[in-house]
A and B are shown apart, each in its own frame.
Chain A
Amino acid sequence: MTFIDPSSSAEQLEDDKLKSSRRSSSSEDRQWGYDLYPQRRKKSTETHGITSLLDTKGQENISKIKCERTIYKCIKQSPIIKLMMGALKSSGCPVDIRRHISCEECAPTVSGGYDPILNQVVICQNSVHKIGHIQSVLLHEMIHMFDYCRHDLNFKNLDHLACTEIRAANLAHCSFLSAWTQGDVSVFNIKQAHGDCVKSKALSSILATRDVSTTEAIDAIERVFPKCYSDLEPIGRRIRRNSDDMFKAYTEGYYYGYDNS
């Protein structure tokens, strides 16, 4: 999922025009998902009272170090993440692990996101702990980064957003088991059910970060589905759970120019 933070962009650019538009369009701001990432808007000035002892606050720094350590492990060891880093580097957008990745506390509903304004992948240290989960979130967001790097991806354009979410669900998620738990698949409905799983995953990603109606989102998904479902770059295959697909995709990447060295 992705989010746009108009207020942080105004801080960056210090543009008066933007600041005035920010004041006047506060209702518009609610359309975007920036409230899911409270730490990104401003420097945190939290004061801790007695209740924070009971609230298990104070673990954030340790959580952050653990999160960053797991991310570093992924970068160094996971074949699929190495493939994405190589693909981004070869597309002219090398990933700097400090500049482009960030561990933060976020709202409990999200596990990660991509901020196209600051150009950072956000990993939610309070929601994801296991290395497999972090790898999956990192992969999902790096696919967004890849689309942003190569194409004129405008996250405010619903068609573009639907396309990148379809590609992320297609390449990184929707194994048979996850489709089963999502309810897209049943004993009588397995044939080509992968597409339905991708559509519903993309739909929930869009609805989580944009204040659009379900029908609008579904229309956008249906419009762009045929083209975006068959676009498999840079991975080149739909990863199957419990298989060697990630390693195969990594070695295949060299034949397409995706090299991180």
Chain B
Amino acid sequence: MTETSTENEEKAPTVEDEWMIRPCPVYDEEYKDCTSIKGRFHQYFVFGETLNCIPWKRDYDNCCRWRDNKDVKSAKEIVENEKARRRQRLEPHYGNDVWTRRKSPPENWNTPLPEHIQKEYEASYLNIKAKEMRGEIPTQVDPSNYCVLM
């Protein structure tokens, strides 16, 4: 009994922060885009130099190994790369001290609009669609291709 349960455990290895590993084609797409002519031109336009695309290739190869062979070492490498990407993306955001972060959303986010505007909106298209999205009325057909006689 214990032997089969350890067998089962070996069959499904997990890696910490496994959720960070994206579907393998994503890495392939990013690598192809990074090395494409348009991509290279855009990199030169923005950064003044071409970027290193090798991490995407490594992640794609590692992802294939993880997906097909459950290679834990490859998975851990991907997770490391993803953590570095997250850090690179989020650091400038949290380090932007031109403004301070709010502790709660703005108070006027949902304050009611002035009366005359609300009245105008009663019969409007967006009002109907907003109600549909909230589930207050059933979805209706939008006769957008019919002719309008003024």
Contacts and interface: CB of A to CB of B under 8 A. Distances in A.
Q: Is B truly associated with A?
A: yes
B92 interface: yes
Contact of A227 (B19, B98, B101, B150): B98
A224 B95 CA distance: 12
Given A72-B129, A159-B98, A96 B110 contact: yes
B98 A71 contact: no
B133 interface: yes
A152 B99 contact: yes
Nearest to A159: B98
B148 to A, nearest CB: 7
B102 A151 contact: yes
Interface stretch (B5-13, B45-53, B62-70, B71-79): B45-53
Interface string A183-196: 00100001111110
Nearest to A232: B89
The 7 closest A-B pairs by CB, nearest first: A192-B48, A230-B92, A98-B130, A68-B125, A151-B99, A92-B105, A194-B46
23 contacts: A62-B148, A68-B125, A68-B129, A72-B125, A96-B110, A96-B130, A103-B126, A119-B111, A120-B113, A147-B99, A148-B106, A149-B109, A153-B99, A160-B99, A192-B45, A195-B46, A230-B92, A231-B92, A233-B93, A255-B19, A255-B20, A256-B86, A256-B90
Interface in B80-97: 86, 89-90, 92-93, 95-97
Interface residues of B, number: 51
Interface in A218-245: 224, 227-228, 230-233, 236, 238, 240, 242-244
A190 B105 contact: no
Interface of A: 8, 11-12, 43, 58, 62, 64-65, 68-69, 71-72, 91-93, 96-99, 101, 103, 117-120, 147-153, 159-160, 163, 176, 179, 185, 190-195, 224, 227-228, 230-233, 236, 238, 240, 242-244, 248, 251, 255-256
A248 B29 contact: yes
Interface in B111-144: 111, 113-114, 116, 121, 124-127, 129-130, 133, 142, 144
A31 to B, nearest CB: 21
A68 B98 contact: no
B102 A12 contact: no
Contacts of A118: 108, 113-114
Contacts of B127: 98
Interface of B: 19-20, 22, 26, 29-30, 33, 38-39, 41-42, 44-48, 86, 89-90, 92-93, 95-102, 104-106, 108-111, 113-114, 116, 121, 124-127, 129-130, 133, 142, 144, 148, 150
Contact of B116 (A43, A194, A232, A248): A43
Contacts of B86: 255-256
Contacts of A117: 108
B101 A176 contact: no
B92 A101 contact: no
A58 B148 CA distance: 14
A236 B29 contact: no
B113 A150 contact: no
Contact of B96 (A43, A92, A185, A231): A231
Contacts of A119: 106, 108-111
